[in-house]
Structure 1
C-alpha cells in the first residue's frame, strides 16, 4: 500500500493531515479527531453511485445524512449552495456536526463553502475522487461561481483533513484525467523542473498506479508548501494561478461545462507561456507543451475566443487589482512572476495567441 505519510499543512486556524493511499474510504474514523454529533455527506450523482455506500459504512453509531448534487461545474451555483444550506437545517445539523465532501473539485468547493457558512462555520473533510481535486482539496479555498466569473463568492476555510483514496481514481474517464494532469503540470511549471520533465514524457492514459501516486505526491507537496507559507494568497500562493487568468475567463465565457476546468487551464498555460515569451524569454516550452497537450488529446482546436468578452471577464476575476489584469508568467521554468497588464496589452497578446493556436 502506497501512503503519503505526514503531509501536514499548518494553517492560521488549524493544522491538518493529507493522507493518500488505497482503501482509505473504509478507514475514515481513524482520521477524525473529534466525536462529531452527526455526519453530512455531500457528493454528486456519479460519485455517490460508486462510493457513497462505502462511506456510510464508517458511521453506524450516529446520525448520518447525505445530499446528492448534479455532476458538473453547473452545480457550483447559488441555487445548489442554498439547497445544501436548507438540507443542513432540515437535518438539524449543529456546530458539532461534520460535513464530508466526497467528489471532485466542484463538490469540494461547494461543500467546503457550505461548511464555512453554515452556523458561521462547521468542520469539514475533503475526500477527493479526481486527479484534479489533488489541487483544489488542499489549501482551504472554497467557493461557488457567479455567472459573471468563477469562484467570486467564497472564503479561505481549511478542512480538518484531506483523505485521498486513490482507488477512486480508477473510475475516471479520459476527460477527467486530462483535467487533473493540467493542474499537475501547472505545479511543475512553477516549482519543479524535474517534475515537469517527468510529466512531459508521460502518456497520461497509460500511467501505472505507482506512477500516478508519485505524480500526485509531488503535486500535493508543491501545493502544500506554498499554501503553508501563504495561506490567504497575498504573495507566492498567487503563483498557483498560472494559466487560470485566461482559463477561468474561457470557462465563464463558453459556459461552464463546455470545457472542464483543467482543459481550460491547459489553454491558459499556453497563453501564459505565449505572453512570457514576449516579455522574458524565447526558451520557454510553448511548443513542447503544445505538442504534449495534443498528444494527450486536450481540446485545443475549435475554441471560440471573443477577445473583448474575455478581457471583461479577466477584469472581473478575483485576481484582478484596481481593474488591471494580473497574470502569472514565467521568466524561466520554475521561476514565476506576477505582472499587471493593461487591456491593450492583453488584447494584443490574445490576438497573436489566437493566430498561433489555429
Structure 2
C-alpha cells in the first residue's frame, strides 16, 4: 500500500500505519484494472454513503469490507484495490451513517452500521444477480459490526465471515472502552439508546455477536487476533470462537503472536495495520481462490519460527 506515513493515535496508543489518502484513489485505479465508484443509498430514511472497487471483467464474487472505529469507506484504498484485483471480486465498503444523522462517520454507530452493510450488500447483489460468493470482512469495531450483519441479515446473504481483531460483545466493548480513550464509552452508550449496560442490557445484548452466534448462518467464520493487541484484547477473539463453537457453527481461528510489518521487521501481533490485518486479507483472497483449508486453528509466531498458516496467495503480504 502506497501513500504517506503518519501517526495514528487512539487513546494514547500510537500506531505507525500506512494510510493512502482519498486523493490517491484515481492514481491507484489508473495503475491497476480496478474502477472505483461512489455509493449513495437511503437506509432507514437516511443517507448512507460508501464506495465499491470493481475489477475489469465479469464480477462473480463480492467482498463486503467493514471499517473500524475512526475509519471510513476511504480507508486503505490501494490495499482494497489490490484485493479486488487479485481476487476478481468487487469490494464494497460503507461509511456507516450514524443512527440519527448527527454523528460523525467513524463513531461507534454499530446498529446503523450493520443495517447499512446489509442494505448495500442487497443493493449490489441486485445489480449483479450473477454474483456467487459473498465474503463479509470486518476489522476492530468493524468485526463487531460485521458480526451483527451476519446475524441479522436474511439467510444466505453471506457465505463467509472474516473477523479481524473484532470485539465480541457490546458489554465488553463498553467495559474496555477506556483502552481506546475517554470518548468511546459515551459513543457506545449513545448507540445503545443513551444508557449503560446495567440500565439497558437488552440493547447491549442485541449488539453482541457472541450472544447471537446461533443466528450466524455463514458457511464458516474465520477469526484472527493478535496476542499483543492493546485495544481489543485477544480474549475477545477467544470469546467469539467459544460462542460459535457452542452454537455448533464452523469456525477457524488464527492466533498471531508475531509477524512481519510492511518493512519486513518482525513485530508483535497487535492492532491496526499489523501482521494480523494482512493475514486477514490473505484469508479473504484464499477463500475466493478456494485455497483456504478448514483446519480449526493456526498459529503464527515468526519470531520463534512457528507458522502453521496456509501459504500466502501470489503477490500478497501475509503475517510471515
Please give the TM-score of this superposition, normalised by the length of structure 1.
0.27
- Give 1 or 2: higher helix fraction: 1
User: RCO greater where, 1 or 2, for CA within 8 Å and sep 6 or more?
Assistant: 1
Question: Which entry has the higher C-alpha Rg, 1 or 2?
Answer: 1
TM-score by length of 2: 0.30
